[in-house]
């Protein structure tokens, strides 16, 4: 069996932004466990195909390569052969320490997409998924919904969604068809508000930009956010956003490393205003056709924004940072004081 596609960002050391590390404005990446340490996620097609094991410093993916029933019967009947196969073929492990990975195994079987950028995100599409929490997490329904769960331990919380009802049996969760797991690396109470917007479907996706490297996440599959790399090389951030939900608006989350200062956001060529509050921005349908943005927070390590898109089809969003030059600002103030002084001299001159 072949892994159809694998993408891993290399890792190094620098300061952290969620699960990414940034060095000299470039994304270099290092995986940070998503809070599910000790959990095992098993994926099945018509049989077991892989396990995802969350550890303290990585996610291990064990593939079941032995799927021929006649070969399996032969191997099980021969202990020597079984030991050799166990060492060489069965349960091959891929250890993930990068910031994202995407693959499908076997072909037309189980699709896995994992991000930590800085939102911790896992999407799986397969016949059946079983999450073994091993008694280390609290599991609760979100507003009694059958297709949403909240998983909690200490300060960690995550939301688990599926298009189908999820069954909870003690410490195990069984899901059919698909699942989306997400945990936002944000401080309370902002995280709680973002989680609620996610579970209500108000947030469609996100993008994280560090230097010339980017990572895009489509939460529910119908929202795409692409960064114009040609403009990025010129120092400008231009996003092409598409979606197929023309009736309801969505919000996208944008993270930009090593950028801070005054922000100017344009939407299809026109400057848009900042929303009054996070509650305002998380309701993209309350301002008619007027898009808005909201700065979640901004410091020397980067800026995180929410941008509302009232009507989805295809839109172009640009983000520019205007950093004031302190010398120029001081010169302008001094010049202004000089003008005031001269005016005062002539006004009060005897």
Exposed (0-12), middle (13-18) or buried (19+): which is 337, by Cβ within 10 Å?
exposed
| Model confidence at 66: pLDDT above 70 | no
Question: DSSP string covering 151-183, please?
Answer: EEETTEEEEEE-SS--EEETTEEEEEEEEEEEE
| Structure-token match 């466990």, residue found | 33
pLDDT of residue 127: 96
| Structure-token match 């797991």, residue found | 181
Residues 6+ apart with CB under 8 A from 237: 209, 227, 231, 256, 318, 319, 320
Domain 203-326, CATH? 2.60.40
Which stretches of 244-300 are DSSP H helices? 278-281
Cβ pair 184, 195 in contact under 8 A: yes
**In this predicted model, what pLDDT tens digit does every residue of 259-286 receive, in sequence order?**
767 889 999 999 999 999 999 999 887 7
pLDDT of residue 346: 47
pLDDT-derived band at 235, boundaries 50, 70, 90 = confident
Residue extents of the structural domains in the chain: 15-59+94-185, 203-326
pLDDT-derived band at 45, boundaries 50, 70, 90 = very high
Of 254, 219, 218, 208, the residue nearest 29 (C-alpha):
208
Q: State the Cα–Cα distance between residues 52 and 63, nearest whole angstrom.
A: 9
């Amino acid at each position: 069996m072949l892994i159809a596609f694998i993408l891993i960002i290399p890792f190094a050391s620098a300061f952290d932004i969620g699960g990414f590390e940034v060095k000299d404005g470039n994304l270099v990446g290092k995986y940070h466990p998503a809070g599910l340490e000790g959990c095992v996620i098993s994926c099945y097609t018509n049989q077991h195909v892989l396990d995802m094991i969350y550890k303290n410093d990585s996610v291990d993916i064990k593939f079941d390569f032995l799927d021929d029933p006649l070969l399996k019967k032969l191997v099980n009947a021969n202990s020597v052969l079984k030991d050799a196969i166990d060492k060489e073929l069965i349960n091959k492990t891929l250890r993930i320490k990068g910031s994202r990975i995407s693959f499908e195994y076997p072909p037309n079987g189980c699709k896995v997409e994992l991000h930590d950028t800085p939102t911790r995100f896992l999407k799986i599409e397969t016949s059946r998924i079983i999450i073994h929490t091993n008694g280390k997490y609290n599991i609760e329904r979100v507003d009694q919904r059958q297709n949403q769960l909240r998983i909690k331990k200490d300060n960690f919380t995550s939301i688990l969604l599926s298009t189908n009802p999820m069954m909870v049996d003690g410490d195990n969760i069984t899901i059919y068809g698909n699942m989306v797991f997400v945990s936002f690396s944000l401080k309370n109470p902002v995280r709680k508000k973002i989680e609620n917007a996610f579970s209500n479907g108000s947030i469609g996706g996100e993008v994280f930009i560090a230097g010339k490297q980017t990572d895009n996440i489509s939460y529910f599959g119908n929202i795409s956010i692409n960064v114009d790399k040609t403009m990025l090389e010129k120092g400008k951030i231009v996003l092409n956003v598409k979606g197929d939900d023309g009736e309801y608006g969505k919000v996208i989350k944008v993270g930009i490393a090593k950028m801070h200062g005054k922000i100017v956001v344009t939407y299809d060529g026109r400057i848009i205003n900042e929303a009054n509050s996070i509650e305002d921005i998380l309701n993209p349908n309350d301002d008619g056709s007027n898009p808005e943005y909201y700065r979640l927070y901004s410091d020397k390590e980067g800026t995180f924004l929410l941008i509302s898109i009232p009507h989805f089809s295809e839109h172009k969003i640009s983000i520019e940072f205007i950093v004031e030059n302190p010398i120029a600002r001081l010169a302008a103030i001094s010049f202004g004081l000089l003008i005031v002084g001269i005016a005062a001299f002539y006004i009060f001159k005897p």
